[in-house]
Amino acid sequence: MGSKYAKWLGGALGWAFGGPIGGLVGFSLGYLWQNATLEVNPTGDSSGSQTHQGDFTISLLVLAAEVMRADDRVLKSELNYIKKFLVAQFGEEKSKELLRVLKDLLQRDIDLVPVCRQIVGFMNHAQRLQLVHFLVGIANADGELHKKEWDLVTRIARLLLISEKDLLSLEAMYDQDKDRFYRILEVEPDASQQEIKTAYRKMAKKYHPDKLGDVGDDVKTAAEEKFRQVQEAYEKLNK
């Protein structure tokens, strides 16, 4: 990795620079720690609890590496899904370097428990929901949700303190069956109009893009699409 990109990535990281995630990425990047430590952390303290674009992306890459190899194979469709996200976030050149990080992570043994514990300690619920949303997208990238992939996404969701209902709601956003609208709003098919309305207000508040903070424009764009699907589900069921 070129020096300027090592320093750029180091400068993009806050809390993800340390802990188990930082250890994994530091191992991947080699000398980045030496080149970028003072730039990121001149006072010796962490950047606080704010999650920024680099923290979100690096956390996603670590978790994505595990999901991508869950079925014992890494598909081109999955790599393309990740690449599209990275290019939209960082541009073509920086994305090439981040893909190298991902490919290196695919060769590492990743202990999900401390990684997810670190994420829970710094990301709010909306940000963790969006992480899981991307992981569900990766698992669906080839048009088929394999059991091993789904089992792993389910495990990660639990470790990130995402409820089963929230996970099924996210999964339903990739389905095409007519019952998906109920699952998106987390209501039963026999729900009353008032229950549907109450559920919509709750989901709209939970999935509002403004809750994501400074995690990058493309993350917010994905959140807006998710928010739109919540609105669509309400409109369909309200009829």
Per-residue pLDDT tens over the stretch 12-24: 677 887 889 888 8
d(C-alpha 140, C-alpha 187), whole Å? 23
d(C-alpha 214, C-alpha 202), whole Å? 23
Looking at per-residue pLDDT, the higher value among 109 and 157 belongs to 157
Which residues are CB-contacts of 57 (< 8 A; sequence separation ≥ 6)?
12, 86, 89, 90, 98, 216
Judge residue 82's burial from the number of C-beta atoms within 10 Å of its C-beta, 0-12 exposed, 13-18 middle, 19 or more buried. buried
Question: Do residues 35 and 4 make contact, with C-beta atoms less than 8 angstroms apart?
Answer: no
Evaluate if residue 127 carries a pLDDT over 70: yes
Q: Rounded mean pLDDT of the chain?
A: 79
Evaluate if residue 7 carries a pLDDT over 80: no
Mean pLDDT within 217-227: 73
Q: What is the pLDDT of residue 155?
A: 96
Mean pLDDT within 38-67: 67
> Tens digit of pLDDT for each residue in 74-107?
778 788 878 887 787 677 877 887 888 888 898 8
Q: Which two tokens stand for residue 125?
A: 């619920």
CA distances from 36 to 11, 66, 142 (A): 7, 27, 37
pTM over 0.85: no
